[in-house]
Structure 1
């Protein structure tokens, strides 16, 4: 009987936390959506009206910013697990600020495209770029909101429970949107 109970407890430990499971399902859905977007981009490229354009240089900066933010959130997660709340708070703050800097630099890049005359109605290639990158920016904004929630929780009260699951879920999502941007940026550079 004790052997059966031991196996049940061991099986429960191996189960994935519902928050993590939901995050992985959401990320799978997002991957499918962006795979569809980039596939549509490739298919539409064969049109006779397709026009190429240069991406703004600020996108290099935004790529560097999002990569650094991936490092800061990972460091914040490790700090939380080590119960170093001072470092955790500082790193969550830095990550949230870097997320906002990323969004601001993306907005600057699209403003530059607009100033060059590349408007949403200009061509299907530009429209798809705006749609794909805009959808990514919305996902990053969702990540920034999640970062702000754990930021507020970190400063609002004294931590009584060092449950790392919420921070791990936010960090996983943040890494995901980072990798997604790198994929999209390389795709746009390659496909030109």
Structure 2
């Protein structure tokens, strides 16, 4: 429980610092500005869409922190039985790293104005993400084949719940990535895709970090 509270506190500190940098905590009536200009009405330091995404990710991070805390507390009880770790989870981790890296490639290609490379990078990210989800389904199939069903024991229940929630968030990201891909194939200026690519990249990097932490939790316990 203490670890969960610590994670949530760290998330709160990071979120507060980040939001403060976006001028959300500014007091315009105390700020000085040029004559005729109302203080604090200048452009935000970041895109409002990024601010909204940052708030959403803080909520999602808190959710997974609570899951991890409940997992650690529940495993202390006597009916807990260790769950085998399907080897494909290692492959899935590498695939998700590839998806995240492909979006970095897409950002760099958009900066260079290379629409063809941007499209290829977006396609690679989408295919890799779908492969990750398919790999998770295969991991579930391996566990079911070995007799570990959803209600077999608490460890199995937590594994299906946590990995399922992570998969649902990735599916939601694929919807946004699909919209970006649709724009990419109808756009003539690669630079115009950069804002959407930035949001997708932030989201995928976040999901990669969450997955690495969860996978480490499964391995350690």
* TM-score where L is the length of structure 1: 0.91
How far apart in 2 are the matches of 1:5 and 1:23? 35
Task: Name segments (4+ residues, structure 1) moved above 6 Å.
Answer: 5-11
Q: Does 1:153 align with 2:186?
A: no
- What is the aligned partner in structure 2 of residue 30 from structure 1? 60
RMSD value, Cα = 2.1
Q: Distance in 1 between matches of 2:93 and 2:125?
A: 14
Structure 1, unmatched stretches of 5+, are none
Q: CA distance change for structure 1 residues 80 and 8 in 2, over 3 Å: closer, same or farther? A: farther
2:92 to 62, 78, 82: 62
Deviation at 1:146, TM superposition (A): 1.6
- Pairing partner for 1:102 from 117, 128, 132: 132
Q: Is the 8 A contact 2:114 2:190 kept in 1?
A: no
Q: In 1, distance between residues paired with 2:159 and 2:144? A: 12
Residues 14-163 of structure 1 mapped to structure 2, 5 A cutoff: 14-159=44-189, 162=192
Q: Residue 81 of structure 1 contacts residue 162 of structure 1 at CA under 8 Å; is this kept in 2?
A: no
Separation in 2, partners of 1:89, 1:69: 14
Length, aligned pairs only: 189
Aligned-partner Cα distance in 2 for 1:185–1:79: 31
* Gap change, CA 1:88 and 1:160, over 3 Å in 2: closer
What is the rounded CA distance, in whole Å, between the counterparts of 1:130 and 1:33 in structure 2? 16
More helix, by proportion? 1
Task: Classify the secondary structure of the residue corresponding to 2:77.
Answer: coil
- Deviating more after overlay: 138-147 vs 114-123: 138-147
Structure 2 unaligned segments of length 5 or more: list them.
1-32
Contact 1:52 1:125 in 2 (8 A): yes
Q: Which secondary structure does the structure 2 equivalent of 1:158 belong to?
A: coil
Q: Higher relative CO (CA 8 A, sep ≥ 6), structure 1 or 2?
A: 1
